[in-house]
Homo-oligomer: A and B are copies of this chain.
């Protein structure tokens, strides 16, 4: 069982891809899918969700694609996680909702807070920087910034 699900992982990678090219031309889903080894149709869905959530701006038609709406340093991992898989919950115990005396939850709620704090403090820029160090952003389409 994973805290970050596969689709979320995909979406994070896609976003990091865009972060690495922030300021450049739109990147097509096809290219993102290829580079990040995401099934194409699935990538489409994920990009749509990022679009609806206001994370990316889309342009249709040939040479269309996606760009980030905000600076990568302003986009947190927590935000992306919540868009794709919803908030990270500790447990969804039924008892908690019924009973006044849930033993388990109070302590675990603290953990939940810590996790959110961590994910809030982690931005796309940070991920992209780690990335850039190893994969020096060969620009595939159009070369240098327009």
Contact = CB atoms under 8 A, between A and B. Distances in A.
Interface stretch (A52-60, A65-73, A84-92): A84-92
A88 to B, nearest CB: 7
A91 B130 contact: no
Nearest to A103: B131
A144 to B, nearest CB: 23
Contacts of A126: 107
Contacts of A94: 37
Interface residues of A, number: 44
Oligomer copy total:
2
Interface string A100-120: 110110111011001100110
A5 to B, nearest CB: 7
A4 B107 contact: no
Contacts of A2: 89-92
A95 B89 CA distance: 25
Contact of A9 (B5, B91, B114, B118): B91
A21 interface: no
